[in-house]
């Protein structure tokens, strides 16, 4: 077995007999400088971005015949065909087909709020099964907040969501818009990074770790406490797979849209700040959570006779969650000094190395979850939900060289263990620090999840999914694990995959429909054919995927 490179393994370079594969990406335009044009009132967002800014540029349009892409445009499931464009062949031997979906109102991002975030989340959810990845175009001013908010709102995300913008408009002669958008399209169309990310100035940052650090430099964003997930060079985009976060539960992609942004606030401590000022903020009508930006490792003045500490303790006893983040660009809140200690004794939660943007949006997300209590919210604020904080900094000892041979070897051994149904061996290999193996691929582009989709042991498939293996990657023939499981007639595997959010890719549907004529039962479970089993039915079946035969019967006939 050879470790094919890290891109979504599908038909690729070196396979001259195969047609050039295409990825499908939806670009969601919300506004921002990237699409702006001058007006008497200054720069304002302008419509028709695809025609005005992309259609005439050879790097965004290979000149092939325009085909239509279906986009779900409303909550009622209304589908509108949108003309698509296609990039020329990338360094990875594929093209990216995309279309731009523009919001009704294009915003300067300084005016976006939780309603706008919900609109983005809903657009992604409605179109989730139609595209391989999503690019969101957005102003840079509040981009880090939107990235952080979306990272929490998009639950069990299995596909890349890349946000970007620009410091200079696309139609400006010297701009950063071209590189930022092209880089985002390539990432969304090639790499199965199931995270909300921010792509800017050739770097892919984890969205909820990012912050805007420059008002006009092209290098406008950084994630000071987290290395970039990927960096684009003149040769290629290098992904740091070891730090990519993956969903680790057998659940569908879902969204949580109602963030409680109206009952949270942010307060920066400064020398001389008075307890009365802090008290006034903490007594704001309806306040439920406060992000406190403190000095250094999490210190705040305790005030004359501990008056400040008392203000915090009183607010916490009234049920307000107070989260401590540092004003410093790097480092973590760590109660080592007496002032920091007294804050944590008063019940202030350590936000560790979260950004203010991350802490504020996470607080709003947790406060809005059904059944949230101050105690529950406080305890989850110090735990990583989407890689937004570093829980502990234990040293990891690792052999510095030999990564490639080790990788190839481990993938081969893993492939055998899966084929033989040897769960214990699979667990041993994956757990001994080989998480990056999960989305790696063999010479046919099959990932471990592809192999497990037809493994004699369903427990192996379940294990790999719970470890974060992706259900959306396609092999060199363009097949998803779900297709392979259905084609092998394995109902249990099909149901488990679907419960994990798997769906057939639109390119697979025609073949699947033909195959479904012979085996309607199992293909129905995969979502194709006369008796298509819906996600809700699977949900209601609970752990019913264990009872494969019952579902096979419901779906029409035996596999
Ligand atoms: N004011 C603009 C915005 O955030 C700035 C930008 O896009 O760079 O929408």
Tell me the per-residue pLDDT of 204-247, one tens digit each, with 9 for 90 and over: 999 999 999 999 999 999 999 999 999 999 888 999 998 999 88
- 167 CB less than 6 Å from ligand 1? yes
Q: Which of 141, 142, 213 to mutate to test the pocket of ligand 1 (most atoms within 8 A of CB)?
A: 141
Residue 428: pLDDT band by 50, 70, 90 thresholds?
confident
- 10 CB less than 6 Å from ligand 1? no
CATH number assigned to the domain comprising residue 474: 1.25.40.20
Atom of ligand 1 nearest to the CA of 165: 7
pTM value is 0.82
Atom of ligand 1 nearest to the CA of 33: 7
What pLDDT, in 10s, does the model give residues 154-178?
999 999 999 999 999 999 999 999 9
Q: pLDDT at position 335, please?
A: 66
- Residue 87 DSSP label: P
Q: Domain for residue 17, yes or no?
A: no
The rounded mean pLDDT for the chain is 87
The percent of residues above 70 in pLDDT, for the chain, comes to 86
What pLDDT, in 10s, does the model give residues 444-469?
788 899 999 999 899 999 999 998 89
Q: Looking at the predicted structure, is the pLDDT value of residue 546 above 70? A: no
- Return phi, psi of residue 112, to 5°: -75, 150
Q: Helices (H), strands (E): how many in the chain?
A: 19, 21
Q: Looking at the predicted structure, is the pLDDT value of residue 542 above 60? A: no
Q: Domain for residue 15, yes or no?
A: no
- Return phi, psi of residue 278, to 5°: -65, -40
Atom of ligand 1 nearest to the CA of 31: 9
Four-residue CA torsion sign, 31, 35, 38, 42: positive
Q: Looking at the predicted structure, is the pLDDT value of residue 350 above 70? A: yes
Q: pLDDT at position 530, please?
A: 66
Q: pLDDT at position 343, please?
A: 86
Q: Domain for residue 390, yes or no?
A: no
The percent of residues above 90 in pLDDT, for the chain, comes to 70
What pLDDT, in 10s, does the model give residues 99-139?
999 999 999 999 999 999 999 999 999 999 999 999 999 99
Q: Looking at the predicted structure, is the pLDDT value of residue 388 above 50? A: yes
Task: Answer for the pair 97, 85: CB distance below 8 angstroms, yes or no.
Answer: yes
Residue minimizing CA distance to atom 7 of ligand 1: 139
CA of 110 to the centre of ligand 1 (A): 7
Q: Are residues 267 and 216 in the same domain?
A: no
Distance CA 27, CA 397 (A): 41
- 439 CB less than 6 Å from ligand 1? no
Residue 547: pLDDT band by 50, 70, 90 thresholds?
very low
CATH number assigned to the domain comprising residue 84: 3.40.50.1170
What pLDDT, in 10s, does the model give residues 299-322?
999 888 889 999 999 999 999 999
Q: Are residues 336 and 447 in the same domain?
A: no
* Mean pLDDT calculated for residue range 74-80: 95
What pLDDT, in 10s, does the model give residues 278-288?
999 999 999 99
Q: pLDDT at position 5, please?
A: 38
Domain that holds residue 133: 22-255
Q: Are residues 183 and 274 in the same domain?
A: no
Grouping H, G, I as helix, E, B as strand and the rest as coil, residue 309 is helix
Q: Domain for residue 8, yes or no?
A: no
Q: Looking at the predicted structure, is the pLDDT value of residue 339 above 80? A: no
- Nearest-Å Rg of the Cα atoms of the chain is 25
Q: Which of 39, 105, 108 to mutate to test the pocket of ligand 1 (most atoms within 8 A of CB)?
A: 108
Q: Are residues 241 and 343 in the same domain?
A: no
Out of 231, 255, 279, a domain closes at: 255
Q: Are residues 458 and 513 in the same domain?
A: yes
Q: Are residues 267 and 240 in the same domain?
A: no
* Mean pLDDT calculated for residue range 349-374: 96
Q: pLDDT at position 122, please?
A: 98
Atom of ligand 1 nearest to the CA of 141: 4
Q: pLDDT at position 336, please?
A: 66
Q: Domain for residue 309, yes or no?
A: yes
Q: Are residues 177 and 307 in the same domain?
A: no
- 317 CB less than 6 Å from ligand 1? no
Q: Please give the tally of structural domains in the chain.
A: 3
* Mean pLDDT calculated for residue range 363-388: 95
Q: Which of 29, 49, 109, 219 to mutate to test the pocket of ligand 1 (most atoms within 8 A of CB)?
A: 109
Distance CA 108, CA 177 (A): 16
Q: Looking at the predicted structure, is the pLDDT value of residue 404 above 50? A: no
Q: Domain for residue 1, yes or no?
A: no
């Amino acid at each position: 077995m050879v470790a094919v490179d890290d891109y979504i393994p599908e038909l690729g370079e070196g396979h001259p007999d195969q047609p050039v594969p295409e990825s499908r990406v939806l670009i969601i335009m919300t506004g921002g400088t990237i699409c702006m044009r001058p007006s008497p009132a200054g720069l304002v967002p302008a419509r028709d971005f695809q025609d005005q800014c992309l259609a005439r540029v050879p790097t965004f349009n290979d000149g092939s015949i325009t085909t239509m892409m279906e986009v779900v445009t409303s909550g009622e499931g209304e589908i509108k065909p949108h003309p698509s464009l296609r990039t020329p062949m990338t360094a990875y031997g594929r093209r990216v087909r995309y279309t731009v979906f523009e919001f009704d109102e294009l915003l300067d991002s300084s005016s976006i709020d939780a309603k706008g975030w919900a609109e983005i989340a809903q657009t992604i959810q409605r179109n989730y099964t139609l595209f391989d990845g999503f690019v969101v175009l957005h102003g840079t001013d509040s981009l880090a907040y939107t990235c952080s908010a979306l990272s929490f709102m998009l639950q069990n995300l299995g596909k890349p969501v890349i946000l970007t913008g620009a410091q200079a408009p696309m139609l400006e002669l010297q701009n950063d818009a071209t590189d930022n958008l092209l880089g985002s399209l390539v990432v969304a169309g090639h790499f199965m990074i199931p995270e909300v990310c921010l792509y800017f100035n050739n770097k892919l940052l984890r969205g909820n770790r990012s912050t805007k650090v420059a008002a006009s430099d092209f290098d406008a964003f950084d994630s000071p406490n987290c290395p970039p997930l990927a960096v684009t060079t003149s040769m290629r985009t290098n992904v740091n797979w070891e730090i990519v976060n993956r969903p680790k539960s057998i659940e569908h992609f879902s969204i949580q849209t109602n963030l409680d942004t109206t009952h949270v606030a942010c307060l920066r401590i400064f020398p001389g700040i008075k307890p009365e000022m802090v008290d006034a903020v903490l007594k704001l009508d309806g306040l439920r959570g406060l992000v406190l930006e403190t000095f250094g490792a999490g210190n705040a003045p305790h005030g004359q006779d501990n008056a400040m500490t008392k203000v915090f303790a009183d607010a916490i006893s009234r049920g307000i969650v107070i989260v401590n983040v540092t004003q410093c660009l790097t480092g973590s809140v760590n109660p080592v000094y007496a002032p920091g200690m007294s804050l944590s004794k008063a019940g202030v939660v350590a936000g560790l190395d979260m950004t203010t943007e991350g802490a504020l949006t996470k607080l709003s997300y947790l406060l809005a979850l059904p059944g949230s209590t101050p105690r529950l919210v406080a305890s989850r604020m110090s735990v990583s939900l989407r890689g937004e904080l570093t829980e502990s900094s234990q040293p990891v000892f690792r052999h510095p060289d030999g990564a490639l041979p080790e990788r190839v070897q481990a993938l081969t051994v893993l492939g055998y263990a899966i084929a033989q149904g040897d769960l214990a061996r699979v667990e041993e290999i994956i757990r001994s620090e080989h998480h990056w193996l999960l989305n790696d691929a063999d010479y046919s582009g099959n990932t471990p999840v592809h192999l497990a989709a037809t493994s004699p042991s369903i427990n192996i498939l379940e294990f790999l999914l719970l470890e974060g293996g992706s259900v959306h990657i396609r092999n060199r023939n363009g097949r998803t694990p779900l297709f392979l499981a259905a084609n092998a007639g394995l109902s249990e595997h099909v149901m488990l995959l679907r419960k994990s959010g798997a769906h057939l890719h639109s390119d697979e549907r025609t073949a699947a429909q033909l195959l479904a004529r012979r085996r309607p039962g199992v293909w129905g479970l995969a979502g194709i054919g006369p008796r298509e089993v819906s996600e809700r039915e699977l949900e209601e079946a609970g752990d019913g995927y264990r009872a494969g035969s019952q579902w096979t019967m419901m779906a029409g006939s035996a596999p």
